[in-house]
Copies of this chain bind each other. A is one copy, B any other.
Amino acid sequence: MYTVCVRDHFMIAHSLKGDVFGPAERLHGATYVVDVEFRRGELDDAGIVVDIGRATHLLEHVLADLDYRNLDDAPELEGANTTTEFLARLIFERLGARIASGELGQSARALESLRVCLHESHVAWAAFEGRLPVAPS
């Protein structure tokens, strides 16, 4: 199995709903440093899993929809508890849909799985991994 991983980050405000979160029920924020792993069993004709430049741009576009926002006010996230785990899956779904619609090119349709990891500090991170293809939304 081959993997390629690219890294970027985004910075948001939000609050979490539920007694378990204690002080994180208050409006606060986070920098999320995001690692996305792209995986497949065989390389494509160019000898790669996915072009690192294109993968980086794809991630940049997906994160731009979240960056510098208060997620509590995001209409598309209404009712969601935007935990790190939830955001990892959200980014997985959005990346997967764009890959399925061809944004990484034909060869990327052979990608078998993605793993999205969000580092919220130097001592904690959360990740979601799942199989591809994801149906376009």
Known contacts A11-B120, A120-B11, A126-B49, A26 near B83 by CB under 8 Å: no
Count of this chain's copies in the oligomeric assembly: 6
Query: Residues of B contacting A123 with CB < 8 Å?
Result: 6-9, 56, 122
Taking Cβ atoms with an 8 Å cutoff, the residues of A that contact B are 1-9, 11-14, 18, 20-24, 26-33, 43, 45-49, 51-54, 56, 67-70, 73, 80-81, 83-86, 88-89, 117, 120-130
* Contact partner, A13, options B8, B13, B117, Cβ 8 Å: B13
In the bound complex, what is the Cα–Cα distance between A116 and B30 (angstroms)? 19
Q: Known contacts A13-B14, A52-B124; can you find 13 more A-B pairs with CB under 8 A?
A: A1-B130, A2-B89, A4-B84, A5-B125, A7-B123, A7-B124, A9-B121, A9-B123, A13-B28, A14-B29, A18-B47, A28-B70, A49-B85
